[in-house]
Structure formats: C-alpha cells, structure tokens
C-alpha cells in the first residue's frame, strides 16, 4: 500500500521534485544534461525514463539541434506531443530533431484503465552556443499617453558575433498567439500590452526575450507648490520651472503674453527675454473639459543678448596715437559705455574713444536695468603711412589729344582701407576719384591717396604723352548710282571716336560735310570725284578719292526706232550699257507680255518676237543693272 501511495505521489508532483527522490545516473555527453531517472505508473507497467535525456545545442557548424533519449516503457499506446514556446505542436515523435534554438515542452499521454493520463515534461532549451544573447536587465519601458501614443520599449542589449536581426511580437497571454510588429531594435508606438523580442543571426536563432509588459500611464496631479518662478537679473532671464519634472504627459502647454501672443509650448518657460505677466494654459489631451490657467508675474524685462552695433575703427598712424573706435549706432536701452585698456585703466565713457596708441580696448555697456555687460574687444593696430609703389603703373599715351590716355595698375601699400583717390590735372582741377585714370588727354597729373587713418596722404606725379596717328578712310574708291540725282555713299566701317569729312576737291580747306557715322548724301548730275578724310582728335588723315559713276543718263536711251531693214535706226540704241556686263534688258507690250529679253544686251532689240515682226506702237522696258539699279520707261516702234 505504501508503494502505491508513493507512485501516485510521483505522478502528481512536478518532475523536478521527483528527480530528488530517485537515484541519479551518469550525466550525458557534452552539450546535454540529465533529468529524473524514471517515473512509474501503478499497475500499468508504464515507465517514463529521462535518465538518458540528451540535448544537442547548435552552433556555427551545426545549425539545428535536438532533444533525444526520453524512453517510455510500457504496454499502453503512448502519444508524444512536442510544443514550442507558443504552445504550437511541432512534432509527435519521441525524439525531437532538426530544430532551431528555442524552448520546447513534451506532453506524454496514454489511456490507462480507460482513463487519459497526461504528463508534461520540460521545458527543455536548445541553445545556440555562439549565437545572439539577449540581456533584458537594463531595458526601459515607457507607458503610452492617455491617447495610446508615445509608449515604447528601449535599450534592450543584444550581443552576438553575426548580423543581428530583430523581430518584435505582441503576445496574447490567453492564447499565446504572437503578432509580428516591427524589425527594429527598439519597439516604438507601443500600446498597453505584452511584448516579446526575437533575435537571430545568420548562424543561430531565434532567441526570445522574456515577456515585457507595457502598463498604462499612471497620471499625476499637477502640484502648483512645486513651481519655481525666477525673476530677471543681470545674469539670467526670467523663468518658470518645476512643471516638466512633474511628468504631466497627458497635458498640452501653451505660454502666452498679454494679447494672446504665444511665446512657448513647453512645460517649463526658460530663457525668455520679456517680463511682466505671462499666462500658462494647460489642456488635457484626452479630456477636452479638463483645462487650467495660471498667471505668473516675471517682473520687469531685461536684455541680456546685446545686438551687434555698427562701429568704425581707425588704426593709429605710427607713434602719433591717432587710433579711435566709434560706436556709430546702438539701441536706446544702452545707457552707458565704459572703455578699458589692457592694463584695466578706464579710457572713456562715451560711444567713442580717440587718440589711442596700438592695443586692445574692451567695451562694457550698461542697460536700462543698470546691468553692465562685456560687449566686445576692439584692436587698434599700428598702421604705416599709405604709399604708392614706384614704377608699378601702366601708362597708355593719348592719341591725337583725343582723351584716350590712361594710367592703370597702380599699386597701393600700407595704410588702412578704405582708400580715397584724387586725380588733378596741371591746373589743379579734379578729373577723377578712381584709382585708375582713364579717358585722359595728354598732360601732367597728380594722384593723391588718403586712407582711413589720419596719416599723411601719399602723392605721385605722372605724365601722359601724345601720339599722332593718321587713319585712312575705309571707303570704296568708286560708287555707282543708277541715274543722275542724289547719291549716297558711306565708309565701310565707322570707328568710335572718329569723325569723317567730305571735300569737293582734294585741296579744299573747308569740307562740304562732316559727321561721325561716315555717311554722306549729295546731288550728282554728272560723273565726278569727291574726297573723304578721317579725323581723330586733332589728327586728320589723308584724303581719299571717291569716284561717283552714273549707270545711265536719260540721254543715253532713245525712245524710238524704225526696224524696216533700211540700215538706218533698225535697232533700239542703248548707250553705255556695255559698262554693265550683267545688265538685264526686258521689253513688254501693252498687255504685259514679255517680247524681248537680253542679258548684257549683246543682241539689241530689233522689233521681232518669235520670228514675227512686232506691230508699230509703244512698248515698255525695264533695265536692271549690275548692282540692282532699275531703269524703266517706254520705247516706240515706227514702221
């Protein structure tokens, strides 16, 4: 009877406790361990023997592990059910093989005396000896806000030699079902619930963390007594603190100045340059009816960030102590200045200090609150007098006194910019205020250079010479016109800075026309010559002859002829047409029919068209000369 009670007790107690009651056998080989020697069920002859349980772990050489060695001795029909972490059946064999790293449980069941007996063995862990390891001791869980947002699980440490892959799952504690969420190391946007991290690498996996719970955010009531109001001082802006530390995550904050101007949306108000009353409006994110308003008096405003002033520095000239610093513009709230030299000696109390030797000078300014602050440190350097380098300039002579001379590439040394330039001519007249002198007539000039200091100006004298250049007029020597009358001729390329003159005769003193574009119009009744010259400044080039040639004079064309083969006036006579080898002569009758055409007029018009004699009457002609000139009129055939 006692033996039966012991067997019944062994079936009911956990296997781990039973292990302590039975004799132990030798441990299994490397990468395995032993469980209880045996478990006997009364009256069945069924024995569950785990004394030779062997677990083979996985590594970089062996990618899948196994759990073997569990023996069932008995005459009953035994059913095996291996289950993974999520209680999913993965095998019904006695030995579990070819499985990845993970935690596994074996459920053994059998019918004994028509009663189902079931025993749970495990869990047993297949580990990855050189795979990833999860350290869950230092992670951080942040609860979501009342609207379900903002929750997270962070800072879980994972160690491994391979490339780690992450997978977060949401766990249903009732069904053990896992829902995949994301593959990031941290879990963002976590709502209230239970989660598990799975990691793996190219060698081992998966490895699971323990269950991690994200709990609801525990709201804390606002405690006004913890709020600290700091008034403005010479060393700090006003502030309202002690609100952010209360962890009021479910509230929205809005700081306002009078008249509704928003100045901040943070819990604490820091480093605000204003003063007076400010309003804090707090509104609950998830409960629109819950809102609060508080008023804080920050006292008078104070200015700590001083803007950049506009200033002028003049360096000292040698040992003359001519340096100065002038604050040209500054805001109205600056009530006092204090200048201090390198020895700590006060040098002045206005917006300007003068007659300074080389050195560093510190400026302190005082605002309307009586706060004195360091503004800046100004450096006065010793400046050598400005000089003009000898023989560095490039002088270009004037041409024909036409104001084309120049002095360029002058090199200025020493001094302190900006520089001021003064060019004067021999009579002392100011001719330029630029460094380069251009468009200058031949003569003597003086350059004076002043710098930003009060040092003496530099002076240097220069001379621009004059060159006489006589240009030929770029014009065609012969100009053709169609008929007598107005003739227009022009130079082929008018140059800037030139003038052109037209003379009636080569030796005339007075021109008949003068202009800058080189185009002349004149009435011509007979062929004749004119003369053109180019003027540059006071230089006049040689006169160039221009021949005017007339294509036709009206008397060259006869207006009648008698083609009756008597040898007298049988052809239409056109004098001087031979001068135009490409002249085109065309004759038309009254209806517009062309009855004659000849280029060059090698064969004159004889009054015959297509082998037939044209009748007496008036015909019309068009003569087109070489250069596009056209002469038209009428000719009469008499028979």
Look at residue 249 and tell me whether its pLDDT is greater than 90: no
Quickly count: other Cβ atoms within 10 Å of residue 504's Cβ.
Answer: 14
Domain 478-551: homologous superfamily in CATH: SoxY domain (2.60.40.2470)
Look at residue 84 and tell me whether its pLDDT is greater than 60: yes
- Residue 455, classified by CB atoms within 10 Å of its CB into exposed (0-12), middle (13-18) or buried (19+), is buried
Looking at residue 393, what is its pLDDT?
95
Looking at residue 602, what is its pLDDT?
86
Looking at residue 36, what is its pLDDT?
37
Residues 6+ apart with CB under 8 A from 268: 239, 240, 241, 242, 243, 244
What's the chain's average pLDDT? 85
Residues 6+ apart with CB under 8 A from 473: 491, 500, 518, 532, 533, 534, 541, 543, 544
The CATH topology of domain 387-467 is Immunoglobulin-like (2.60.40)
Beta bridge partners of 178: 171
Look at residue 30 and tell me whether its pLDDT is greater than 70: no
Edge-to-edge strand ranges of the sheet holding 372-380: 346-348, 336-340, 359-366, 372-380
Alpha helix (H) residue ranges in 57-99: none
pLDDT band, very low/low/confident/very high, at 179 (cuts 50, 70, 90):
very high
Looking at residue 16, what is its pLDDT?
35
**66-70, 258-262, 452-456: least confidently modelled range:** 452-456
pTM metric for this prediction: 0.36
Looking at residue 551, what is its pLDDT?
66
Looking at residue 233, what is its pLDDT?
82
pLDDT in tens, 258-286: 888 999 999 999 988 888 899 999 998 88
Q: Give the architecture (CATH level 2) of 554-637.
A: Sandwich (2.60)
pLDDT in tens, 523-538: 888 888 999 999 999 8
The Cα 452–Cα 469 span in angstroms is: 43
Look at residue 9 and tell me whether its pLDDT is greater than 90: no
Region 44-60: mean pLDDT is 79
Looking at residue 349, what is its pLDDT?
95
Region 592-617: mean pLDDT is 93
- Going by C-alpha positions, the residue among 339, 374, 332 that lies closest to residue 360 is 339
More confident residue, 333 or 418: 418
Is 387-467 in the same CATH topology as 133-214?
A: yes
More confident residue, 361 or 307: 361
> Considering the chain, what percentage of its residues have pLDDT values greater than 90?
49
Element (H, E) at 107: strand 102-112
**21-35, 321-335, 442-456: least confidently modelled range:** 21-35
pLDDT in tens, 470-526: 888 778 777 777 777 788 888 888 888 899 999 999 999 999 999 999 899 988 888
* Domain positions in the chain: 2-126, 133-214, 224-297, 310-383, 387-467, 478-551, 554-637
Q: What is the largest CA-CA distance in the chain?
A: 177
Domain 133-214 has CATH 1.10.10: no
Residues 6+ apart with CB under 8 A from 377: 360, 361, 362, 363
- Going by C-alpha positions, the residue among 86, 93, 83 that lies closest to residue 120 is 83
Region 162-170: mean pLDDT is 92
Look at residue 607 and tell me whether its pLDDT is greater than 80: yes
Quickly count: other Cβ atoms within 10 Å of residue 34's Cβ.
Answer: 18
Distance (Å) of CA 540 to CA 400, 473, 585, 605: 9, 10, 45, 52
Look at residue 29 and tell me whether its pLDDT is greater than 70: no
pLDDT in tens, 189-240: 999 999 999 998 877 767 889 999 998 887 778 899 999 999 888 878 899 9
Quickly count: other Cβ atoms within 10 Å of residue 366's Cβ.
Answer: 17
Contact 407, 445 (CB under 8 A): yes
C-alpha radius of gyration, the chain, whole number: 58
Task: Please state the φ and ψ torsions of residue 245, each to the nearest 5 degrees.
Answer: -70, -10
Looking at residue 440, what is its pLDDT?
96
Residues 6+ apart with CB under 8 A from 566: none
The Cα 548–Cα 486 span in angstroms is: 11
Look at residue 15 and tell me whether its pLDDT is greater than 90: no
Look at residue 34 and tell me whether its pLDDT is greater than 90: no
Looking at residue 205, what is its pLDDT?
66
Looking at residue 488, what is its pLDDT?
82
Query: What is the CA angle 273-277-280, rounded to 5?
Result: 95
Look at residue 439 and tell me whether its pLDDT is greater than 80: yes
Looking at residue 46, what is its pLDDT?
61
Q: Give the architecture (CATH level 2) of 310-383.
A: Sandwich (2.60)
Look at residue 321 and tell me whether its pLDDT is greater than 90: no
Cis peptide before 83 (omega within 30 of 0): no
Look at residue 7 and tell me whether its pLDDT is greater than 70: no
The Cα 323–Cα 59 span in angstroms is: 81
Looking at residue 32, what is its pLDDT?
37
Look at residue 550 and tell me whether its pLDDT is greater than 60: yes
pLDDT in tens, 106-152: 998 888 778 888 888 889 988 877 778 888 788 999 888 887 888 99
């Amino acid at each position: 009877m006692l033996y039966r009670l012991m067997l019944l007790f062994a079936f009911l107690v956990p296997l781990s406790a039973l292990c302590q009651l039975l004799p132990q056998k030798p441990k299994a080989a490397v990468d395995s361990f032993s469980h209880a020697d045996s478990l006997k069920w009364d009256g069945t002859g069924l024995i569950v023997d785990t004394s030779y349980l062997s677990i083979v772990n996985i590594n970089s050489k062996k990618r899948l592990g196994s759990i073997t060695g569990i023996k069932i001795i008995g005459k009953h029909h035994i059913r095996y059910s291996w289950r993974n972490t999520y209680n999913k059946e993965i095998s019904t064999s006695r030995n579990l093989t070819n499985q990845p790293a993970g935690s596994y449980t074996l459920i053994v069941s059998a019918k004994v005396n028509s009663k189902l007996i079931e025993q749970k063995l495990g869990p047993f862990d297949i580990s990855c000896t050189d795979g990833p390891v999860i350290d869950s001791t230092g992670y951080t869980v942040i609860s979501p806000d009342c609207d379900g947002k903002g929750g997270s699980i962070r800072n879980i440490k994972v160690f491994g030699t391979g490339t780690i892959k992450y997978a977060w799952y949401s766990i249903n504690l009732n069904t053990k079902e896992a829902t995949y969420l994301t593959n990031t190391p941290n879990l963002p946007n976590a709502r209230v619930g239970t989660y598990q991290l799975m990691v793996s690498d190219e060698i081992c996996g998966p490895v699971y963390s323990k269950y991690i719970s994200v709990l609801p955010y525990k709201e804390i009531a606002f405690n006004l007594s913890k709020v600290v109001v700091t008034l403005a001082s010479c060393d700090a802006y006003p502030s309202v603190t002690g609100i952010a530390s209360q962890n009021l995550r479910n509230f929205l904050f809005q700081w306002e100045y009078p008249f509704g101007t928003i100045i901040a949306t943070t819990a604490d108000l820091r480093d605000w340059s204003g003063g007076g009353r400010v309003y804090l409006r707090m509104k609950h994110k998830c409960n629109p009816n819950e809102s609060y308003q508080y008023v804080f008096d920050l006292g008078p405003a104070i200015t700590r960030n001083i803007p950049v002033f506009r200033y002028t520095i003049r360096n000292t000239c040698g040992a003359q102590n001519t340096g100065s610093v002038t604050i040209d513009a500054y805001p109205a709230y600056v009530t006092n200045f204090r200048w201090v030299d390198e020895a700590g000696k006060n040098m002045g109390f206005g917006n300007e200090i003068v007659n300074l030797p080389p050195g560093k000078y510190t400026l302190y300014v005082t605002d309307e609150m009586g706060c004195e602050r360091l503004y800046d440190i100004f450096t006065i350097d010793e400046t050598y007098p400005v000089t003009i380098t000898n023989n560095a300039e490039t002088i270009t002579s004037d041409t024909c006194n036409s104001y084309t001379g120049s002095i360029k590439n002058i090199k200025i040394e020493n001094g302190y910019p900006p520089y001021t330039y003064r060019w004067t001519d021999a009579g002392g007249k100011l001719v330029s205020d630029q460094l380069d002198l251009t468009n200058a007539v031949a003569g003597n000039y003086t350059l004076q250079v002043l710098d930003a200091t009060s040092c003496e100006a530099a002076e240097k004298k220069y001379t621009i010479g004059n060159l006489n250049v006589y240009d030929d007029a770029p014009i065609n020597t012969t100009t053709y016109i169609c008929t007598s009358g107005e003739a227009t001729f022009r130079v082929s390329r008018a140059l800037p800075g030139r003038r052109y003159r037209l003379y009636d005769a080569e030796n005339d003193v007075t021109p008949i026309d003068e202009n800058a574009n080189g185009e002349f119009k004149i009435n011509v009744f007979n062929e004749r010559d004119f003369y053109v010259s180019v003027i540059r400044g006071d230089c006049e080039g040689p006169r160039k002859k221009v021949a005017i040639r007339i294509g036709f004079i009206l008397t060259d064309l006869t207006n009648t002829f008698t083609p009756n083969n008597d040898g007298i006036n049988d052809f239409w006579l056109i004098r001087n047409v031979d001068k135009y080898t490409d002249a085109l002569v065309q004759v038309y009758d009254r209806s517009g029919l062309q009855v004659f055409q000849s280029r060059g007029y090698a064969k004159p018009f004889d009054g015959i068209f297509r082998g037939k004699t044209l009748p007496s009457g008036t015909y019309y002609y068009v003569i087109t000369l070489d250069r596009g000139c056209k002469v038209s009129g009428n000719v009469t055939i008499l028979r």
